[in-house]
Chain A
Amino acid sequence: MPEHPIIPVQARHHLTTRIWHWINALCLLVLLMSGLTIFNAHPRLYWGEYGANDDYAWMAVGSSDRMGYLRFGEMRIETTGVLGNWQDSAGKTQKWAFPGWATIPSSYSLADGRRWHFFFAWIFSVGLTLFMVRSLWNRHIQKDLHMRKDEWRPSHIWQSLRDHTRIATIRQSSAKPYNVVQKLTYIGVIFILLPLMIWTGLGMSPGMDANWPILTDVFGGRQSARSVHFITAFLLVLFFLVHIVMVLLSGPIKQTAAMIGGGRAKGAG
Chain B
Amino acid sequence: MTIITRRKLITSAAIGAGSLLSGCDALNRNPAFQDVLASAETGNFAVQRALGDRMELASEYGIADLSPTFRANGSRDPGTADYTASAAQGFANWQLRLTGLFRNPQQFTLAALQSMPQRTQITRHDCVEGWSAIGQWTGVPLKILLDLAQLRGSARFLVFHCADRLGGRPYYESIDLLDGFHPQTILAHRLNGEPLPIANGAPLRLRVERQLGYKHAKYVTGVEAVSSLAGFGEGKGGYWQDVANYEWYAGI
A residues contacting B by CB (< 8 A) are 29-30, 33, 38-39, 41-42, 44, 49-55, 101, 104-107, 109-112, 114-116, 118-119, 121-122, 202, 204-213, 222-223, 226, 248, 252-253
In the complex, the answer to whether B71 meets A104 with C-beta atoms within 8 Å is no
A206 and B126 contact, Cβ closer than 8 Å, known pairs A49-B61, A211-B48: yes
Q: Which residues of A contact B244 (CB under 8 A)?
A: 109-112
| Cα A33 to Cα B44 with chains together (Å) | 21
Q: Among B57, B58, B67, B251, which residue has its beta carbon within 8 angstroms of that of A52?
A: B67
Closest partner residue, chain A, to B35 (CB atom) = A115
In the complex, the answer to whether A106 meets B24 with C-beta atoms within 8 Å is yes
Q: Which residues of B contact A208 (CB under 8 A)?
A: 48, 51, 251-252
| Cα A204 to Cα B132 with chains together (Å) | 10
B43 within 8 A of A: yes
Count, chain B residues at interface, CB 8 A: 53
Using A115-B40, A119-B38 as known contacts, list a sample of 10 further A-B pairs with CB atoms less than 8 Å apart, ordered by residue number in A.
A51-B132, A55-B67, A111-B247, A112-B34, A118-B41, A206-B251, A208-B251, A210-B59, A211-B48, A248-B6
Q: Which residues of B contact A107 (CB under 8 A)?
A: 25
B167 within 8 A of A: no
| Cα A101 to Cα B67 with chains together (Å) | 35
Q: Which residues of B contact A115 (CB under 8 A)?
A: 34, 37-38, 40-41, 245, 247
In the complex, the answer to whether B133 meets A50 with C-beta atoms within 8 Å is yes
In the complex, the answer to whether B25 meets A106 with C-beta atoms within 8 Å is yes
Q: Which of B45-86 contact A (CB under 8 A)?
A: 48, 51-53, 56-59, 61, 65, 67-69, 71
| Cα A55 to Cα B130 with chains together (Å) | 13
| Cα A50 to Cα B127 with chains together (Å) | 11
Q: Among A101, A112, A122, A205, which residue has its beta carbon within 8 angstroms of that of B245?
A: A112
A sample of 28 cross-chain residue pairs with beta-carbon separation below 8 angstroms, ordered by A number, consists of: A29-B20, A30-B24, A42-B127, A42-B129, A49-B132, A51-B131, A54-B68, A101-B21, A104-B24, A106-B21, A106-B24, A109-B244, A111-B245, A112-B244, A115-B41, A118-B37, A118-B44, A118-B252, A119-B36, A119-B37, A202-B252, A205-B251, A206-B126, A206-B211, A207-B44, A211-B51, A226-B130, A252-B6
